């Protein structure tokens, strides 16, 4: 794999020498490939190529662009095994995490955008309601921004990196994808797939590199889509502000789950375990903290402990060989250890796990924490690992107060009698809340996904998820008109008085 993927990296980036980045398999510690660390000058060259290619790509029209992307959808399915192996090798996640959360999502997302892009970006007729413009034709239209920079995270190198490229491309833009330096190989493989699917040269390019490469990309593009930490998101926004480049940001989260006394505890426990441990807990909308009403707290905790206790952790060598994979990013392992140590020092108990797994690879044992409170980092800061802190609360109101006590507002979940749970969900300070479910809203591409507070700006998915990659233009058309409208120069007393009476009459009766 190393030599093949290095060849892909060099051919896609046009860079066969210079600084390189070693890509490691976090489950084994083995170096599996090297990719180029692109300079700012090389990024500027990619931008020139992308801008030149974008004109022809946009001119092809929706139908032609959709045909290319539908071929890419088939390519993804035909090459699913190769993609999964690449994702697993550079992230350390399990085969199931790679297939269901990445391949499955991508197939659905391409199908959705290919079907709906034209409708979402079609000209919209606007009804005139203001007196001065009655009889005029009002139109809103959408135009591709040009060159989009997508800066992706390391936890989902397909879903949260290439996933944003799909609507950007279908809107008629060219794209430069800057993947995380930790997980660049999937993006390079997708570039190969797009080329084989008939995408014109230069429309999609991959800029491998570290933070400096990403910063250079922000300087060169017409819009930035960034997914990652809130801290880095602020830096991206500050950099983009220097050139007034628009940004969309999906940032950190500390997603709460509330379990009410009338919840189906078996379902609630199953989903708490699955969505806290999915992808090794490295999901921005995973379940990261749980608040359980006192009458059902003990029963819920016991169910969770029993389920976590039988999870298999280790290197995933094929389907159904492990439930919990590795920690992908070395620094993240340190954060997980710090959060658990902090909680234990402040009185929490680890009913399972509570330590880094000895041996090769970067693994942290699936950990259930109890006796937790908001003095602990595990309850207030983004841990991003296979940990599940569970807190007992007196009632739903206390649970909601604690759930909302966070600078983040990305996702959340409420379990209980449906109507009661829905009422509580509507009061949760988060951009997406599930009732008797969790996280699955992300694959509902029809539904906007975006964070409140420090969890981001803008949304992905739905109509807004493709319109953000466009600039809006208003067209105002005078179809039937005089040579000189009555309100224009020269002013005449009789005409002015008549106009004043007309305005008072039109608006004075509340007519709109």
Q: What is the pLDDT of residues 305-332, one digit of tens each?
A: 999 999 999 999 999 999 999 999 999 9
If DSSP codes are grouped into helix, strand and coil, which group holds residue 72?
Answer: helix
**For this structure, is 250 an active site residue?**
yes
> What is the rounded average pLDDT for all residues in the chain?
95
Radius of gyration of the chain (CA): 26
Average pLDDT, stretch 405-434?
98
Residue 480's pLDDT is what? 85
- 143 Cβ contact partners less than 8 Å away, ≥ 6 residues apart: 470, 471, 472, 473
- Parse the chain into domains and list their residue ranges: 40-251+462-471, 256-450
Catalytic: which of 24, 102, 181, 284? 284
What pLDDT, on a 0 to 100 scale, did the predictor assign at position 8? Answer: 45
- The catalytic residue among 250, 288, 323, 365 is 250
**Cα–Cα dist 439/443, whole Å:** 8
- Over the stretch 459-487, which tens digit does the pLDDT of each residue have? 999 999 999 999 999 999 998 888 899 99
Q: What percent of the chain shows pLDDT beyond 70?
A: 96
pTM across the whole model: 0.94
Environment class of 468 (CB within 10 Å of its CB; exposed 0-12, middle 13-18, buried 19+): buried
Whether CATH 3.40.309.10 fits 256-450: yes
* pLDDT tens sequence across 383-414: 999 999 999 999 999 999 999 999 999 999 99
The helix (H) or strand (E) run that includes residue 388 is strand 387-393
Q: Which helix (H) or strand (E) holds 299?
A: helix 294-309
Q: Number of C-alpha atoms within 13 angstroms, CB side, residue 258? A: 35
The reply to whether 434 belongs to the active site is no
pLDDT for 409: 98
In 3D space, the residue among 193, 303, 322 whose CA is nearest the CA of residue 259 turns out to be 303
511 has a pLDDT exceeding 60 = no
pLDDT digits (tens, 9 = 90+) for 31-69: 999 999 999 999 999 999 999 999 999 999 999 999 999
Taking the C-alpha atoms of residue 466 and residue 470, their distance in angstroms, rounded to an integer, is: 7
pLDDT of residue 131: 86
- The CATH code for residues 40-251+462-471 is 3.40.605.10
pLDDT of 345 above 90: yes
Sign of CA dihedral 390, 392, 396, 398: negative
Confidence category of residue 374, pLDDT binned at 50, 70, 90? very high
pLDDT of residue 510: 61
pLDDT band of 14, cuts 50, 70, 90: very low
Q: What is the mean pLDDT of residues 373-377?
A: 98
Which of 297, 484, 492, 273 lies closest to 388 in space, CA to CA? 273
């Amino acid at each position: 794999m190393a030599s093949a993927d290095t060849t892909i990296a060099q051919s896609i980036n046009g860079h066969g020498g210079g600084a390189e980045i070693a890509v490691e398999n976090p489950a084994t510690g083995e170096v599996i490939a090297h990719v180029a660390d692109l300079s700012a000058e090389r990024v500027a060259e990619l931008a020139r190529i992308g801008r030149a290619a974008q004109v022809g790509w946009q001119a092809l029209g929706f139908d032609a662009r959709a045909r290319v992307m539908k071929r890419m959808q088939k390519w993804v399915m035909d090459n699913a095994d190769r993609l999964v192996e690449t994702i697993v090798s550079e992230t350390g996640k399990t085969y199931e995490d790679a297939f269901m959360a990445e391949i499955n999502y991508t197939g659905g997302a391409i199908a959705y955008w290919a079907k709906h892009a034209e409708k979402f970006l079609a000209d919209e007729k606007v009804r005139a309601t203001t007196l001065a413009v009655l009889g005029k034709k009002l139109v809103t239209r959408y135009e591709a921004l040009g060159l989009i920079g997508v800066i992706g995270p390391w936890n989902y190198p397909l879903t949260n990196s290439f996933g944003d490229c799909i609507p950007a491309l279908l809107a008629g833009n060219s794209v430069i994808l800057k993947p995380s330096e930790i997980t660049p190989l999937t993006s390079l493989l997708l570039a190969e797939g797009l080329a084989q699917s008939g995408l014109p040269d230069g429309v999609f390019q991959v800029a491998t590199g570290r933070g400096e490469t990403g910063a250079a990309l922000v300087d060169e593009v017409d819009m930035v889509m960034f997914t990652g930490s809130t801290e880095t998101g602020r830096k991206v926004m500050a950099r983009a502000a220097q050139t007034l480049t628009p940004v969309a940001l999906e940032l950190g989260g500390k997603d709460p789950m509330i379990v009410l006394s009338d919840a189906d505890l078996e379902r609630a426990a199953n989903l708490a375990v699955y969505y806290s441990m999915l992808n090794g807990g490295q999901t921005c909308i995973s379940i990261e903290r749980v608040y359980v009403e006192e009458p059902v707290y003990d029963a819920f905790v016991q169910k969770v402990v029993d389920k976590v206790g039988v999870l298999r952790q280790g290197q995933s060598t094929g389907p159904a060989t492990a439930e919990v994979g590795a920690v992908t990013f070395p620094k993240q392992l340190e954060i997980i250890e710090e959060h658990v140590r902090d909680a234990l020092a402040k009185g929490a108990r680890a009913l399972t796990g509570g330590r880094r797994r000895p041996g090769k690879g970067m693994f942290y044992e699936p950990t259930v924490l109890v006796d937790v409170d908001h003095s602990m980092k595990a309850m207030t800061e983004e841990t991003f690992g296979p940990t599940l802190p569970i807190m007992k609360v007196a009632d739903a109101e206390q649970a909601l107060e604690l759930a909302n006590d966070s600078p983040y507002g990305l996702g959340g979940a409420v379990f209980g009698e449906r109507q009661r749970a829905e009422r509580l969900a509507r009061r949760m300070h988060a951009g997406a809340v599930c009732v008797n479910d969790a996280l699955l809203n992300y694959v509902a591409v029809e539904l906007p996904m975006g964070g409140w507070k420090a969890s981001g700006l803008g949304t992905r998915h739905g109509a807004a998820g493709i319109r953000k990659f466009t600039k809006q233009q208003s067209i105002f058309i005078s179809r039937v008109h005089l040579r000189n409208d009555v309100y224009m120069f020269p002013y005449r007393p009789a005409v002015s008085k008549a106009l004043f009476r007309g305005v008072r009459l039109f608006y004075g009766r509340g007519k709109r």
